Amino acid sequence: MANLRVLFVTSRVTYMPDNYLELFEEFLKLNSSWVSGLVLLDNLDTKTTLQSIGLPFLGAKKIGLQLIRNIIELPLKRRENLFKNYKIPVLTWDSMNSEEALDYVSKNKIDLIVNLRTRCIYKKEILTAAKIGCLNVHHGLLPEYRGTFCDLYALTEGREAGFSIHEMVEKIDAGKLHKVIPVASKEDIKNENKYSYLNYLKKTAPLEAKALYDLCLEIENEGKFPQGKPNTAEKKVFTKNPTKKQIKEFINQGFVL
């Protein structure tokens, strides 16, 4: 097929170190010609701001301060400037289900949409708008571990932690699996006196960039998604945002949040 046209989508504010800047830097170095745009979904509202301020008081000081730092640094437009240097457009939308998003994907003949840490639930129209489809980077090891903060729960439970890349369908955390990448082994977790969740997240960004690059290369060569693996498991574990009590328990175990 002709040169792959990829649209990256992430939240305007995340708790990833530097708002995912390193992932974009690494991917663009590997092949900027694939990237047709970056979408920042505008999730900065009163609720997000209050949550960021409240996290340190819940005990998650590092994550809270990182989130606050990411908000404070938004006017610097580091991601926007990075893409501008490559002459790649950056757009800010409220949702990927908007008419604006559908129109852009159609007019720009986007082949592939890559979703990175957003809480947007894609509807059928946008899932089928891109020629090849949509991918999601899920922060847990599928097919067993689903929901939010899967990697954090894995670390605190002494299990292998990592991320998965899967096709997006209407059902959340479903769709064929294409990459399942371990980041921290049981031994890694056991051997560190105090395991830092933010340090773990810093390790994931370049690994995600490389895994996405490898998968995009396969997609471009085949002109479609590779065969992939079924995203099914006999036992599925669903996790959600940890409570104040759970955060305290994690810290008492020796985890740095």
User: Residue 54: its pLDDT value, please?
Assistant: 63
Within 8 A by CB and 6+ apart from 78, the residues are 18, 19, 21
* Lowest mean pLDDT segment, chosen from 72-86, 127-141, 188-202, 235-249: 188-202
Q: Where are the alpha helices (DSSP H) in the chain?
A: 21-31, 46-58, 61-72, 78-85, 99-107, 124-127, 150-156, 186-191, 197-222, 244-252
Q: Which of 96, 80, 98 is closest to 88 using CA atoms? A: 80
pLDDT of residue 224: 96
What's the pLDDT score for residue 78? 97
**Confidence check: pLDDT of 49 > 70:** no
- The predicted pLDDT at position 57 comes to 59
The token pair at 19 is: 């708002």
Mean pLDDT of the chain: 92
pLDDT at residue 201 is higher than 80:
yes
pLDDT in tens, 106-165: 999 999 999 998 989 999 999 999 999 999 999 999 999 999 999 999 999 999 999 999
The sheet that has 6-11: what strands, in order across it? 90-93, 35-41, 6-11, 112-116, 133-138, 161-167, 177-184
What domains lie within the chain, and their CATH numbers? 6-252 (3.40.50.170)
Q: Do residues 15 and 66 make contact, with C-beta atoms less than 8 angstroms apart?
A: yes
Share of the chain above pLDDT 70, in %: 94
Q: Which of 11-15, 106-110, 214-218 has the lowest mean pLDDT?
A: 11-15
Strand partners, 177: 166, 229
Cα 94 to chain center, whole Å?
A: 17
Residue 213, pLDDT > 90, answer yes
Q: What is the pLDDT of residue 189?
A: 79
43 vs 231, more confident: 231
The reported pTM is: 0.94
pLDDT of 2 higher than 80? no
